[in-house]
Amino acid sequence: MNRFRIFSMLLLLVLAISVKAQISGVVIDAQSGDTILYPSASYKDHQVAVSGNAYGEYTIARHNGWKLVFSAVGYKSKTIVVNANTPSKLDVKLSPDTRMLSEFVVKKKRNRYSRKDNPAVELMRRVIAAKKRTNLQNHDYYQYTKYQKLTTALNDISGADIDSGFVGKHKWMLDQVEMCPYNNNLILPLIVDETVSQHIFRKNPRTEKDIIQGENSQGISQLIQTGDIITVATKDVFTDVDIYDDQVRLLQYPFTSPIGKDAIAFYRYYIQDTVYVDRDLCYHLEFMPNNQQDFGFRGELYILADSTLHVKKCNLSIPKRSDVNFVDNLQIKQEYTRLPNGEWALSVDDMIVEMSLMKFLTKAVVIRTTRLTDYAFDELPKVLFKGKAKEKREANALMRDENFWNQYRSVELTKSESSMDAFIHRLEQIKGFKYIIFGAKALIENFVETGDENHPSKFDIGPINTIISKNFIDGYRTRISGQSTANLNKHWFFSGYYARGWHSKKNYYKGEVTYSFNKKDYLPREFPKRTLTLTSTYDIMSPSDKFVHTDKDNVFTAFKWTKVDKMMFYNRQQLQFEYEQEWGLKTTLGIKAEENEAAGMLAFNPLNSGTDFVVPDNVKAGDLLHNGKIRTTELSLQFQLAPGRTYINTKQRRLPINLDAPVFTLGHTLGLKNFLGGDYNYNFTEAAIYKRFWMKSWGKIDVYLKAGAQWNKVPYPLLIMPAANLSYIVEDETFNLINNMEFLNDRYASLDASWDLNGKIFNRIPLLKKLKWREYIGVKCLWGNLTDKNNPLLAQNAGDGVLMAFPEGCYVMDPKRPYVEWIAGIHNIFKILHVEYVHRCNYTYLPTSKRNGIRFMLRLTF
């Protein structure tokens, strides 16, 4: 132990000496807060000077007693006398000098920048035009090998952390602390993920695929069974950047490429010089967005001064004033290499992102290291292009040995990255750590595991947020739930719950058995889903509960803006087969037998029964009113096409993380009379389309279009009711101010359009600009029609044996007058809160209507 302490002290002493031997920092524009490109730091009257980089960073030797001068073209110089009190990390602000050359004044003054007769703009027009000539996709075939390493670490480990913080209390962690070469900070790597893939391209028929040959993930993500969320989300947020695309998807937003077709209008360019880069003569340009709060890049390009006009090298960053959440610093460095055939191709693609969720929380850094090698243009076998999936994974990709990684690992692991398993093992030995992980899992995953580090959980208890809830019939309701995992069996999965309504004294249950045709890592819903599921359920619900994506007894959605007293018991047996293709097509085939019993203010009274449902005067919440039953048997078939969509798996459900791809859905349900007790024949068809439209710097528009028809004469429980959301929590694809079963139709069409302007307007209002709030507007429309054959209010249908009387509060829409509600919202409040004001525009004369409301949700976005 004494030797270890001595070693630790020596290590800290060496670090301290190395830091004090030099001065480093960032040079910043005093007015805008942006870093200054290529500043100069020099000692007056001494032959010691250095040049900063494109991000304003500099490092110079310390000389106490000397005068250190900071300067940059277009700025007033600043002199600092270095002494013992001068900090080793010294950030300097320079003020613009309006007396400098007009070229540099133009850079600072927006109204004086001109694209007309600007040599930098003319050069960039030629560069953009040359893209088609240098595109590797001009070849019939091409391929390359890509190695990528993604490291997530705690950033900016300070001396205080080492002395008295968490690291200081566990000195062995010093072995995991290392210097990051990208930002010169001490970091603590926590997750390292490696991937080796082969990218292949065929021109005719046009096909492009990634074949994943090896994957390896280590770190704290392995402590959480659904830790793949971290890896999948990180890869989706920090995607590969190809500046030869017109739009670059990064941080789940499209950024205009500096050499994209719209770049001339979006960016300002300045030619700095002609320089040699690895013996190649290049034009050196700098660029920045016209409005530096827009989502765009700032940086420099090195363009080959030859007929190709290809990019040789580029450095990209995000302006300090950009409205990106959580990102303190982002840098991308790319290099292109000349291939043996004389063409140029990307070979180095490195990214570093420094992040902080909140100022008082620990900072993080994500380092993505990518190398592209072995470019070839030979004809490729057709079998490699088989199938429509854009990504294929070799069967043994997760089981590659060290020889494989030694062959393909283009960038060696650091000492800390290579010892990740040992670090995690020692982390697990910390006293009380298992309780921290236990609590984190319950909070993050909403489930509690029953295993331990030596015996992985075979059965998880949860969801936690459904343990207690409340509804009109049951009063308070308690529930205990659970599900088995792949640690019990890779193919067979079991789940279910038991619930008790304390006022109704009713017992409820759900039992589910799933067989997965492909092996799963943890849960049966993992993509691609290929399952056969048998479910038996007895429970109570409101008719509108089927439109809510969360559990109907989620404690957070139990708070309603209206009284929900129309409910029904359901006894359901269902067999369902789901099959997903890797390229995005999902087929769902099911058969369901269900008995429904009306409860509360709901009644199933056929028109020919001669009786009307009358609510007793003394009825109150929890009273069980036996108001009739119906029984249905259904066959259903649905197709959903979502090409390019990626998912993350939680223990509760699967969530799409990439919403850029369109989604097409088509389904049909066939009701069977006299089969398994079914009372009715009917046919219901429904189709839906979802599409996201990016509006460049004006944010994004999400559009949902749906339409459906109930073709047969049916009682009202089988008609089409609006997707009503009765809680205060925002739910996608639902109406905020339509009451439970307020409109009943047998034809419908709906539009749900929302526009997130991403702060485009608020950023131009001084106070709101500082708050970084973002505006949000939307409209929801419902067109509905009830044909005469299904309208129980018409005299011609009096005494009909199929139709039922509508319950109180259910109405027929005017087919010439669609329902409309609009939304005005603000999100990014405290970077996490989304609040909407909703207004109902028509049908306000109905007693069930409510004209205005407030809805909210928690949402993190960049």
- Range name among 134-138, 745-749, 761-765 with the lowest pLDDT average: 761-765
User: Residue 100 — pLDDT band, cuts 50, 70, 90?
Assistant: very low
List the alpha helices (DSSP H) in 21-171: 102-108, 119-129, 131-134, 159-163, 166-169
Q: Is the pLDDT of residue 779 over 90?
A: yes
Q: What are the structure tokens assigned to 586, written together?
A: 């999902």
Residue 18, pLDDT score: 37
Residue 99, pLDDT score: 44
Show Cβ contacts of residue 533 under 8 Å, excluding neighbours closer than 6 positions: 512, 513, 514, 515, 524, 574, 575, 576, 577, 578
Amino acid identity, position 121: V
- Report the C-alpha gap between 693 and 325 in whole angstroms: 21
Task: Kindly compute the dihedral angle of the four CA atoms of residues 39, 44, 48, 53, in this order, to the nearest 10 degrees.
Answer: 0
- Report the C-alpha gap between 684 and 720 in whole angstroms: 9
pLDDT tens digits, 433-489: 777 777 777 777 788 888 776 788 899 998 888 999 999 999 999 999 999 999 999
- Range name among 225-229, 661-665, 684-688 with the lowest pLDDT average: 225-229
Which burial class, exposed, middle or buried, applies to 15 when counting CB atoms under 10 A from its CB (0-12, 13-18, 19+)?
A: middle
What sign results for the dihedral spanned by CA atoms 606, 607, 610, 612? positive
Q: Is the pLDDT of residue 235 over 80?
A: no
- Report the C-alpha gap between 239 and 69 in whole angstroms: 40
pLDDT tens digits, 378-416: 999 988 888 777 888 887 888 888 899 989 998 889 888
Q: Which residue has the tokens 């969720």?
A: 357
Q: Which residue has the higher pLDDT, 321 or 19?
A: 321
Q: Is the pLDDT of residue 623 over 60?
A: no
At residue 516, φ and ψ (nearest 5 deg) are -100, 125
Q: Taking the domains of the chain in order of start, what are their residue ranges?
A: 20-112, 123-386+405-427, 690-862
Q: Is the pLDDT of residue 121 over 60?
A: yes
| C-alpha distances out from residue 38 to 78, 286, 507, Å | 15, 11, 72
Q: Is the pLDDT of residue 517 over 70?
A: yes
User: Residue 50 — pLDDT band, cuts 50, 70, 90?
Assistant: confident
pLDDT tens digits, 278-323: 888 999 999 988 876 677 888 899 999 888 899 999 999 887 666 6
| C-alpha distances out from residue 165 to 4, 162, 398, 808, Å | 18, 6, 36, 64
Element holding 755 (H helix, E strand): strand 747-756
pLDDT tens digits, 803-831: 999 998 999 999 999 999 999 999 888 87
pLDDT more than 70, % of the chain: 87
Q: Is the pLDDT of residue 352 over 80?
A: yes
**Shortest CA distance to 705 belongs to which of 751, 640, 774?**
751
Pairing assessment for the beta strands 253-256 and 267-277 based on DSSP bridges: unpaired
pLDDT tens digits, 532-588: 999 999 999 999 888 887 788 888 777 888 889 899 999 999 999 999 998 889 999
Q: Is the pLDDT of residue 12 over 60?
A: no
Q: Is the pLDDT of residue 612 over 60?
A: no
CB 294 within 8 A of CB 697: yes
The CATH code for residues 20-112 is 2.60.40.1120
Residue 74, pLDDT score: 63
Task: For residue 848, give the DSSP letter.
Answer: T
Q: Is the pLDDT of residue 760 over 50?
A: yes
Preceding peptide of 616 cis, ω within 30°: no
- Range name among 278-287, 349-358, 721-730 with the lowest pLDDT average: 349-358
Long-range pairs for 349-356: beta carbons < 8 A, 24 or more residues apart? 349/240, 349/241, 350/182, 351/238, 351/241, 352/180, 352/182, 352/183, 353/238, 353/327, 353/329, 354/155, 354/156, 354/183, 354/327, 354/328, 354/329, 354/330, 355/155, 355/326, 355/327, 355/328, 356/326, 356/328
pLDDT tens digits, 139-167: 999 999 999 998 888 888 777 666 666 66
CA diameter of the chain: 108
Please list, residue by residue across 177-214, b when 16 or more beta carbons sit within 10 angstroms of its beta carbon and e when fewer do: bbebebbebbbbbbbbbbbbbbebbbeeeebebbbbbb
pLDDT tens digits, 168-195: 666 777 778 888 887 788 888 888 889 9
Q: Is the pLDDT of residue 6 over 50?
A: no
Q: Taking residues 605-621, report their average pLDDT.
A: 64
User: Residue 610 — pLDDT band, cuts 50, 70, 90?
Assistant: low
Residue 97, pLDDT score: 67
Task: For residue 697, give the DSSP letter.
Answer: G
- Report the C-alpha gap between 133 and 46 in whole angstroms: 50
- Range name among 37-41, 212-216, 801-805 with the lowest pLDDT average: 37-41
| C-alpha distances out from residue 761 to 292, 711, 758, 765, 828, Å | 14, 46, 8, 7, 14
The mean pLDDT of the chain is: 84
Q: Taking residues 422-434, report their average pLDDT.
A: 76
Q: Which residue has the tokens 């525009």?
A: 841
**How many residues would you count in the chain?**
862
User: Residue 10 — pLDDT band, cuts 50, 70, 90?
Assistant: very low
Q: Which segment, 7-11, 136-140, 665-669, is predicted with the most confidence on average?
A: 665-669
Q: Is the pLDDT of residue 359 over 80?
A: no
User: Residue 111 — pLDDT band, cuts 50, 70, 90?
Assistant: very low
Residue 105, pLDDT score: 32
Residue 398, pLDDT score: 80
**Shortest CA distance to 650 belongs to which of 499, 455, 443, 834?**
443
Element holding 270 (H helix, E strand): strand 267-277
At residue 323, φ and ψ (nearest 5 deg) are -90, 40
Q: Taking residues 135-140, report their average pLDDT.
A: 92
Residue 5, pLDDT score: 39
Neighbours of 119 (CB within 10 A): 11
- Report the C-alpha gap between 177 and 429 in whole angstroms: 18
- Range name among 296-305, 506-515, 609-618 with the lowest pLDDT average: 609-618
Residue 361, pLDDT score: 56
Angular region, 251: left φ>0, alpha ψ -120 to 50, beta rest: left
